[in-house]
Amino acid sequence: MSESQIIRTEYSDVMKKSYIDYAMSVIVARALPDVRDGLKPVQRRTLYDMHELGIRWDKPYRKCARIVGDTMGKYHPHGDSSIYEALVVMAQEFKKGIVMVDGHGNFGSIEGDGAAAMRYTEARLAKFTQEAFLADLDKDIVNFLPNFDETEKEPEVLPVRVPNLLVNGAEGIAVGMATSIPTHNLGEVIDAVKAYMKNDQISTKQLMRYVKGPDFPTGGIVVNKDDLLQIYETGAGKIKLRGKVEVEDMKGGKKRLVITEIPYTMIGAGIGKFLNDVCSLVENKKTSDIVDISNQSSKEGIRIVIELKKGADAENLTNMLYKKTRLEDTFGVNMLAVADGRPETMGLKKIIEHHVDFQFELATRKYKTLLAKELDKKEIQEGLIKACDVIDLIIEILRGSKNVKDAKACLTKGVTENITFKTSISRKMAAMLRFTERQATAILEMRLYKLIGLEIEALMKEHEQTLVNITKYEDILNNYTSMADVITEELERFKKEFAVKRRTVIENAEEAVFEEKKVEEQEVVFLMDRFGYARTVDAATYERNKEAAESENKYVISCMNTGRLCLFTNTGKMHQIKVLDVPFGKFRDKGMPVDNISNYDSTQENIVYLCDAEQMRYAWLLFATKQGMIKKVEGLEFQVIKRTIAAAKLQEEDELVHVQVITGGQQVVLQTREGYFLKFASEEVPEKKKSAIGVRGIRLKKNDELEQVYLIEEGQEASAAYGEREVWLNRLKMAKRDGTGTKPRA
d(CA 315, CA 515): 11
d(CA 73, CA 83): 11
DSSP state of 639: -
Asked whether the predicted pLDDT for residue 2 surpasses 60, the reply is: no
The b/e string for 613-635 (b: 16+ C-beta within 10 A; e otherwise) is bbbbeeebbbbbbbbbbbbbbbb
Which among 264-273, 362-371, 390-399 has the top mean pLDDT? 362-371
Q: Assign 166 to helix, strand or coil.
A: helix
- pLDDT band per the 50, 70, 90 thresholds, residue 615: confident
Domains of the chain: 39-159 (3.90.199.10), 244-326 (3.30.1360.40), 358-497 (1.10.268.10), 523-731 (2.120.10.90)
Summarize the confidence of residues 30-50 as an average pLDDT: 93
Summarize the confidence of residues 679-698 as an average pLDDT: 92
- How far is CA 697 from each of CA 511, 608, 632, 677, 679, rounded to the nearest angstrom? 57, 18, 12, 11, 10
Asked whether the predicted pLDDT for residue 27 surpasses 80, the reply is: no
DSSP state of 724: T
Which residue blocks in 390-508 are alpha helix, DSSP H? 391-400, 404-413, 424-431, 437-445, 453-478, 480-498
- pLDDT band per the 50, 70, 90 thresholds, residue 730: confident
Residue 504 makes CB contacts below 8 A (sequence gap 6+) with 213, 214, 215, 216, 219, 220, 221, 222
Q: How many CA atoms lie within 13 A of 681 on its CB side?
A: 4
120 annotated active-site:
yes
pLDDT digits (tens, 9 = 90+) for 499-527: 999 999 999 887 777 666 667 788 999 99
Asked whether the predicted pLDDT for residue 366 surpasses 60, the reply is: yes
- How far is CA 388 from each of CA 443, 445, 452, rounded to the nearest angstrom? 9, 14, 10
Lowest mean pLDDT among 217-221, 596-600, 622-626: 596-600
Strand partners, 180: 171, 334
Q: Assign 456 to helix, strand or coil.
A: helix
Residue with the bigger pLDDT between 715 and 490: it is 490
Residue 746 confidence (pLDDT): 56
Among 576, 560, 557, 558, smallest CA distance to 520 is for 560
- How far is CA 327 from each of CA 96, 229, 282, 283, 324, rounded to the nearest angstrom? 20, 24, 16, 19, 8
Catalytic residue among 120, 264, 449, 618: 120
- How far is CA 409 from each of CA 75, 130, 402, 730, rounded to the nearest angstrom? 47, 47, 12, 133
Q: Assign 277 to helix, strand or coil.
A: helix
Among 44, 12, 43, 41, smallest CA distance to 27 is for 41
Residue 485 confidence (pLDDT): 94
Among 227, 237, 302, 239, smallest CA distance to 265 is for 239
The b/e string for 491-503 (b: 16+ C-beta within 10 A; e otherwise) is beebbeebbeeee
Amino acid, single-letter form, for residue 527: L
Summarize the confidence of residues 300-304 as an average pLDDT: 89
Mean pLDDT for all residues in the chain: 90
Asked whether the predicted pLDDT for residue 1 surpasses 50, the reply is: no
Among 112, 51, 105, 118, smallest CA distance to 79 is for 118
pLDDT digits (tens, 9 = 90+) for 531-590: 999 999 999 999 999 999 999 999 999 999 889 999 999 999 999 999 988 888 888 888
Contact predicate 83/76, CB 8 Å: yes
pLDDT digits (tens, 9 = 90+) for 659-668: 999 988 899 9
Question: Pairing mode, if any, of strands 505-506 and 221-222?
Answer: parallel
Burial class (CB in 10 A: 0-12, 13-18, 19+), 22: exposed
| Confidence (pTM) | 0.73
d(CA 648, CA 101): 59
- pLDDT band per the 50, 70, 90 thresholds, residue 443: confident
Contact predicate 658/670, CB 8 Å: no
pLDDT digits (tens, 9 = 90+) for 132-176: 999 999 999 999 999 989 999 999 999 999 999 999 999 988 887
pLDDT digits (tens, 9 = 90+) for 636-680: 999 998 999 999 999 998 999 999 999 888 999 999 999 999 999
Residue 298 confidence (pLDDT): 85
**Count of residues for the chain?**
746
Asked whether the predicted pLDDT for residue 240 surpasses 90, the reply is: yes
Contact predicate 439/381, CB 8 Å: no
- Detail the DSSP E strand segments found in 637-685: 644-646, 656-662, 666-672, 677-681
Contact predicate 650/625, CB 8 Å: yes
Phi, psi (rounded to 5 degrees) for 608: -100, -40
Among 152, 277, 264, 257, smallest CA distance to 217 is for 264
Contact predicate 221/504, CB 8 Å: yes
Among 115, 118, 95, smallest CA distance to 107 is for 115
Q: Assign 666 to helix, strand or coil.
A: strand
DSSP state of 113: P
The b/e string for 458-481 (b: 16+ C-beta within 10 A; e otherwise) is eeeeebeebeebbebbeebbeeee
If DSSP states are collapsed to H, E and C, what string results for 592-634? Answer: EEHHHHCCCCCCCCCEEEEEECCCCCCCEEEEEECCCEEEEEE
Enclosing H/E stretch for 88? helix 80-91
Amino acid, single-letter form, for residue 535: R
* DSSP output for 318-375: HHHHHHHSTTEEEEEEE-EEEETTEEEE--HHHHHHHHHHHHHHHHHHHHHHHHHHHH
pLDDT digits (tens, 9 = 90+) for 581-590: 888 888 888 8
pLDDT digits (tens, 9 = 90+) for 368-415: 999 999 999 899 888 888 888 888 888 888 888 888 888 888 888 888
d(CA 622, CA 682): 9
Among 297, 298, 315, 306, smallest CA distance to 258 is for 306
- How far is CA 393 from each of CA 445, 449, 645, rounded to the nearest angstrom? 16, 17, 106
pLDDT digits (tens, 9 = 90+) for 586-613: 888 888 899 988 999 988 999 999 999 9
Summarize the confidence of residues 688-703 as an average pLDDT: 92
Contact predicate 595/644, CB 8 Å: no
